[in-house]
Structure 1
Amino acid sequence: MEYIKEIHINEAIIHILDNSSEEPVINEQYLELNEDTYKFLLRHVDRCLKDEELKYAVFNQERNIVKDLSQEYLGGQNSLLEISKELARQMFILMKSRGNIASGDLLIVSIATEYGPMLGIMKMDYIKNYTHAIEFVDNKIGINIVPQFTGLPASSQKIQKCAFIKPLQEGQDFNLLVIDKSNNKEKDEYGSNYFISNYLGCTIINNKRDITKAFYNAAETWTRNKLNEDASTQEIVRSTIQKKLKQEDSIDVKALSEDLFKDQYEAQQDFVQFVSASGIDETIAIDKEWVAKKLKRVRLKIDSDIDLYINEETYDDPNRLEFQRNGDGSINIIIKHIINYIQK
């Protein structure tokens, strides 16, 4: 996967899309990118591009306004201000036709990255904030707390829907990066795909990170379900898979199952079938950067009453952590050479 680390914001515009209004409030000016505004936008863009829910997508073949407008801008045929107005109008039309799509601001941002320019579309749903209200009653001051529903997500909060669109070129693996999370109302009413299907007109495709993540989760689910009373074999399966993920560029699921379960043919078959039923091919290309991030810190939930958080270096060091097999399916986990500890 393309992990974007270098981001520069060129220009940005924001429009107001309030479901209680008959028309969107269309901005006629670019945002002033002072130090505070620039930091606020950069943090949101950076968080989105690092989000685990970020997906690859390709535009569908049929004509789509978002695709056409984005390429007009990225191809230098129109200004960000003009194309952003139509992008906002199209989103507002969709919001009014669907009913329960959350009100918010639509941020359109032009960014430069190490992989080239991108056009960002970020739907910033309003959040509920509280402020004080001062009233004078009989010449006396009264102060109450009242809710406000027009607050934008703080830079520490995650955006629910956004897209980062690339200039279209022949032979591209993907055309855009997309996040499409849904609140409960949207899930109940429309499913989770109005943003992808109706607005962007694109189709999600798997990338190396998604495939690696899906395999890791499928293997863990199988281990929990099939070996729930055999901690010794659980440890062998988990440690072997983690070693493969760190050391290999790809994993052959069938060969892995044979390595894990030796002469246990039924266990081999069951593992392979479960992974296949999870939509994963027999050979998996590993996303090494996702693995490094995922395994940087290991959490062990032991029985129902112990939680351990262990960094990768300590987890792999037999001089600090040891797994002892008792021969009855149970194990002892020994933490060694403790010099100091604190209680929280």
Structure 2
Amino acid sequence: MRNTDAVMIKKAIVHVLDRNSDEPIFTDFEQDIQEDVHEFLEKHIIKSLQDEENRKGKFRGGVTAVKDACIKIFTEEQDFIECSKEIAAHLFKAMKSNNNISSSDLVICLYESFEKNYVGILKLDYKKSFIHQVEFVEDKLKVSIIPQTISLPGMSQRLQKCAFIKEIDEEDEYDLIVLDKQNYGNEEDGEIAQFFVQNFLNCSILVDNRDKTKLFKKATEKWTRRNLKEDIDKAQEVREEAINSLKNCAEIDVEKFTQSIFGNDQQMQENFIQHLDQEGLPVENFDIDKKWVEKKMKKRSIKTDTGIEIKGEYEDIEDKMKFEIRRNGDGTVSIIIKNVRSFQER
């Protein structure tokens, strides 16, 4: 699903979820899928499916309003409108659980990709935009800029919350792809964030090899910054070992990696493994997602405490003829860019 680069919208419908109202505003008609509407929906679907933050999910037991409605859409397309209302009503109920959850339009669509059907659920949060207004005042023409508070996200913007459900097979690893960009900055934000995945979709978020690869890279850097701020040599060793493992190995053995980095320092080993666990990475072997590595680790960025930032291709920074980090023996290093024939300022 994540590799989708084209979809065909077969059915779509829009319901209004205004949390200031007691009930959702349901429509009784499907959306006319004109060329520009198709492009609008297709771009948001593709962009969300390719977003690095989306996750695989599996429906849980208990209340399964979304799952049940999607199964019915797949098997009885003539019930699409009524099923969409059930999904919208369930989301509206979940939204009412917290006053800070934003009102939105809800688009539900049935689309086809690679000859398979999927249900897309897109929560279109309102964006503030501006339009001009033309009016006559005392026989004179007046043009004003006025705000529009219920504009929908443009095609260049990214959705905050959406889900893409495939035809249900209980034996499959996952049932849906979920994108939820809610900020988990504090307890209240956490409650808001969980309403979509837990209260509405009622699904468990899975951690696949792509997620594990990304988590390993991010968590290792986070731990290094926090614990090795005063030991630049060791910090460099940890970073280089992590990069080499991701680029040159087929899998990560977390315990073996930890032992190779920290040797017999049992306290550091336990501290690092505990940190990975807290970041959501299970302490177990996992296959490295090479596609993610190739895509996200093409460039490297180094920022020093002296205010200098260096960016370049990984291959160039790893080339000893072009780049070197030389230890000075006093806890500092010198970063040397070698064999430069010319340079430009930007």
| TM-score, normalisation: structure 1 | 0.88
Q: What residue identity is the alignment partner of 1:194?
A: F
Paired residues of 1:73 and 1:83 also in contact (CA < 8 A): yes
Distance 1:28 1:150 in 2: 21
Count of matched residue positions in the alignment of Structure 1 and Structure 2 = 343
The one-character-per-residue Cα deviations of 1:279-334 (angstroms, maximum 9, x if unpaired) are 43332312222222221221111114112221233223223222222233322222
Paired residues of 2:98 and 2:192 also in contact (CA < 8 A): no
Structure 2 CA distance for partners of 1:328 and 1:269, relative to 1, 3 Å: farther
Could you list the runs of 5+ residues in structure 2 that have no partner in the other structure?
Answer: none
Aligned to 2:332: 330
**Residue 282 of structure 1 pairs with residue 265 of structure 2:** no
Paired residues of 1:120 and 1:164 also in contact (CA < 8 A): yes
Aligned to 1:139: 139
Structure 2 CA distance for partners of 1:275 and 1:15, relative to 1, 3 Å: closer
**Residue 168 of structure 1 pairs with residue 163 of structure 2:** no
Identity of aligned residues (%): 36
Q: What residue identity is the alignment partner of 1:301?
A: K
Aligned to 1:149: 149
**Residue 4 of structure 1 pairs with residue 3 of structure 2:** yes
Aligned to 1:314: 316
Paired residues of 1:4 and 1:114 also in contact (CA < 8 A): no
Paired residues of 1:100 and 1:189 also in contact (CA < 8 A): no
Q: Which shifted more, 121-130 or 309-318?
A: 309-318
Q: What residue identity is the alignment partner of 1:290?
A: W
Equivalent positions of 1:160-199 (< 5 A) are: 160-182=160-182, 187-188=188-189, 190-199=191-200
| TM-score, normalisation: structure 2 | 0.88
Equivalent positions of 1:7-18 (< 5 A) are: 7-11=6-10, 12-18=12-18
Give me the CA root mean square deviation. Answer: 2.7
Paired residues of 2:299 and 2:311 also in contact (CA < 8 A): yes
The one-character-per-residue Cα deviations of 1:70-102 (angstroms, maximum 9, x if unpaired) are 011123454433422332233334445644431
Aligned to 2:70: 70
Equivalent positions of 1:213-224 (< 5 A) are: 213-224=214-225
The one-character-per-residue Cα deviations of 1:184-223 (angstroms, maximum 9, x if unpaired) are 9994594321122222122222222222222222211221
Q: What residue identity is the alignment partner of 2:299?
A: R
Structure 2 CA distance for partners of 1:143 and 1:186, relative to 1, 3 Å: farther
Aligned to 2:159: 159
Corresponding residue SS for 1:7: coil
Q: What residue identity is the alignment partner of 1:52?
A: E
**Residue 202 of structure 1 pairs with residue 199 of structure 2:** no
Q: Which shifted more, 139-148 or 75-84?
A: 75-84
Could you list the runs of 5+ residues in structure 1 that have no partner in the other structure?
Answer: none
Deviation at residue 21 of structure 1 after TM alignment: 4.3
The one-character-per-residue Cα deviations of 1:130-181 (angstroms, maximum 9, x if unpaired) are 1222343333333332211111111121111111111111322111111223
Paired residues of 2:30 and 2:81 also in contact (CA < 8 A): yes
Distance 2:112 2:50 in 1: 16
Equivalent positions of 1:249-288 (< 5 A) are: 249-262=250-263, 264-285=265-286, 286-288=288-290
Aligned to 2:52: 52
Distance 2:175 2:85 in 1: 22
Distance 1:15 1:317 in 2: 56
Q: Which one of the candidate residues 287, 293, 296 is aligned to 1:294?
A: 296
Distance 1:8 1:140 in 2: 49
Paired residues of 1:211 and 1:284 also in contact (CA < 8 A): no
Paired residues of 2:124 and 2:159 also in contact (CA < 8 A): yes
Structure 2 CA distance for partners of 1:218 and 1:300, relative to 1, 3 Å: same
Aligned to 1:237: 238
Distance 2:200 2:74 in 1: 19
Paired residues of 1:17 and 1:24 also in contact (CA < 8 A): yes
Distance 1:115 1:276 in 2: 39
Distance 1:115 1:318 in 2: 49
Q: Which shifted more, 228-237 or 265-274?
A: 265-274
Aligned to 2:249: 248
Q: What residue identity is the alignment partner of 2:217?
A: Y
Deviation at residue 106 of structure 1 after TM alignment: 0.8
